[in-house]
């Protein structure tokens, strides 16, 4: 079984697939020099080609949610996110959205944005993975969250308390969303 983490960005979307043993199976940083609709076309093709080999054995996918305090090309990023969600839908895959500060808390124990480079150190220190790109490091943490969320009942005792808190909040939010859908 595989678990995918996605750190969406217009300039470099980090993707990381891990297996049941937390081993990195594949990573990529999706980027293209194009802009506008042509950029979306190329990114969609790159994403589809990346995920297709794993789609039949995908346990769970986590995507980092939007940082609402960020400004800039939020409209364009929304278009790219829509393409990712649509591609996943066509493959019958439903992602779990993880807030940026939940991602930071999961890897460091603190839900604070300490800068992009700090994530690299936290991933190495806490998970033993040497990753040199912060977008890939974020995707790796998201893949671990996907794995731990999926296997929570059987691995809960091996997690740190702050990781358990993140998983429980994600589970609670998912349950609330499902209740709303039934109404």
Domain extents for the chain?
Answer: 2-182
pLDDT for residue 7 is more than 80: yes
pLDDT tens track for 132-157: 999 999 999 999 999 999 999 999 99
Write out pLDDT tens, residues 20-77: 999 999 999 999 899 889 999 999 999 999 999 999 999 999 999 986 555 557 788 8
C-beta atoms surrounding 65 within 10 Å:
16
What is the C-alpha separation between 41 and 43, in angstroms, rounded? 6
Chain Cα centroid distance, residue 146: 8
Residue 127, pLDDT score = 95
Among 149, 58, 26, CA closest to 98: 149
Out of 1.20.1600.10, 3.30.70.3270, 3.10.620.30, 3.30.420.10, the CATH code matching 2-182 is 3.30.420.10
Which pLDDT does position 71 carry in this prediction?
A: 56
Query: Does residue 114 carry a pLDDT above 80?
Result: no
**What mean pLDDT is predicted for residues 117-127?**
91
User: In the predicted model, what is the mean pLDDT of the chain?
Assistant: 92
Q: Give the pLDDT score at 118.
A: 87
Q: Could you tell me where the DSSP H helices lie in the chain?
A: 36-51, 74-90, 100-108, 116-127, 134-150, 152-155, 161-182
pLDDT value at 182 more than 80? no
pLDDT (0 to 100) of residue 70 = 54
Which pLDDT does position 131 carry in this prediction?
96
CB 119 within 8 A of CB 110: no
143, 17 in Cβ contact below 8 A?
yes
């Amino acid at each position: 079984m595989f678990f995918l983490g996605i750190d969406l960005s217009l300039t470099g979307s980090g993707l990381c697939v891990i297996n049941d043993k937390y081993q990195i199976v594949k990573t990529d940083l999706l980027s293209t020099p194009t802009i506008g609709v042509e950029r979306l076309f190329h990114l969609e093709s790159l994403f589809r080609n990346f995920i297709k080999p794993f789609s039949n054995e995908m346990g769970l996918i986590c995507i980092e949610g939007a940082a609402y305090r960020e400004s800039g090309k939020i409209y364009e990023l929304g278009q790219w996110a829509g393409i990712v969600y649509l591609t996943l839908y066509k493959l019958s895959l439903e992602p779990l959205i993880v807030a940026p500060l939940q991602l930071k808390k999961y890897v460091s124990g603190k839900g604070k944005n300490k800068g992009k480079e700090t994530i690299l150190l936290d991933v190495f220190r806490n998970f033993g993975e040497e990753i040199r790109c912060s977008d890939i490091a974020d995707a790796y943490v998201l893949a671990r969250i996907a794995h731990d969320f999926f296997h929570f009942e059987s691995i809960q005792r091996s997690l740190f308390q702050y990781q358990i808190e993140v998983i429980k909040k994600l589970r609670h939010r998912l349950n609330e969303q499902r209740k709303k859908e039934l109404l």
